[in-house]
Amino acid sequence: MILIKIGNFLIPLVVLLIIIYAIRKKVPIYDSFVSGAKEGLELAISVLPYLVAMLFATNILLKSDILNHIFLAMKPFFDFIKVPVEILPMAVIRPISGNASFAVMIELIKTFGVDSFIGRLAATLQGSTDTTIYVLSLYFGSIGIKKIGHAMWAGLLTDLVAVIVSIILVSVVFG
């Protein structure tokens, strides 16, 4: 509770310090703020088509139910290596959409419980992986970078390693 009060106090303090610094440096504060707001709005508008495309692709993937059929076919293998197949949709969706993977995590926790192996693994995956494809398409696309191959594979490999390490760590600590 005290940290919240400190945080609520620090944010206005930082803004005040920035204003004092700008006044001392004789920066036109209001004009600079408006200019920055315009740039932010232009950036938001330039990023919007990439965001809509990613949301569209994610919704098609989730609504088609194709992932569930693929994972059910792979269930015997994952049962053999003692990895719950229920976690796989989250592991696949996480590089595409943080919100979709968060929704999957919440459903897993509701279904299996927060203290279950699957609940703990879902929370660990959510915290240790990134929205690689989303970040690359949104940010690289907004500044016009078309060749994202190496960055994408490096990011996806990092996500795969994070999934494997998460499974191992949760198995060792909570298994």
87-111 confidence digits (pLDDT tens): 998 998 899 888 889 988 999 999 9
Per-residue pLDDT of the chain (175 residues; tens, 9 = 90+): 777 788 788 888 999 999 999 999 999 989 998 998 898 888 778 778 877 877 787 778 777 888 788 888 999 999 999 899 999 989 988 998 888 899 889 999 999 999 999 999 999 999 999 888 888 887 887 788 878 889 889 999 999 999 999 999 999 998 7
Q: What pTM value is reported for the model?
A: 0.67
Query: Which pLDDT score, from 0 to 100, does residue 5 have?
Result: 80
Tell which phi-psi region holds residue 2, choosing left (phi > 0), alpha (psi between -120 and 50) or beta: alpha
Domain ranges in the chain?
A: 46-174
Angle at 167 between CA 165 and CA 173, to 5 degrees: 95
Give yes or no for a contact between 68 and 85, defined as CB atoms under 8 angstroms apart.
no
Q: Estimate the share of the chain in helix, then strand, then coil, as percent rounded to the nearest 5.
A: 85, 0, 15
